[in-house]
Amino acid sequence: MIQSMEYTETSSERPDDIERKRLLELIYKKGVYALTRSELERLHTLLELKSYRENRKANRSKKKLLKKINIAIYECSQEGQHE
């Protein structure tokens, strides 16, 4: 079961952090396939840039999510080739 990561926007958050959290919320609520290919690619980039070294559990979750995103991006590209 995936838990929702509720958040509130604060003035100290960067726009990239806000965007990353917004996209993650969509995934946790609706699943990875709810995002468009461009949103998946953007989230992949934002997650790659985010460091979770201080939290091993979060780092493992990040790696698992990146794999799911890669699969979804690949499947989107395959669907585009068949149409």
The tens digit of pLDDT for each residue in 6-60 reads 445 555 789 999 999 999 999 999 999 999 999 999 999 999 999 988 999 999 9
pTM (predicted TM-score)? 0.78
Contacts 24+ apart (CB under 8 A), 14-18: 16/46, 16/49
Identify whether the C-beta of residue 12 lies closer than 8 Å to the C-beta of residue 19: no
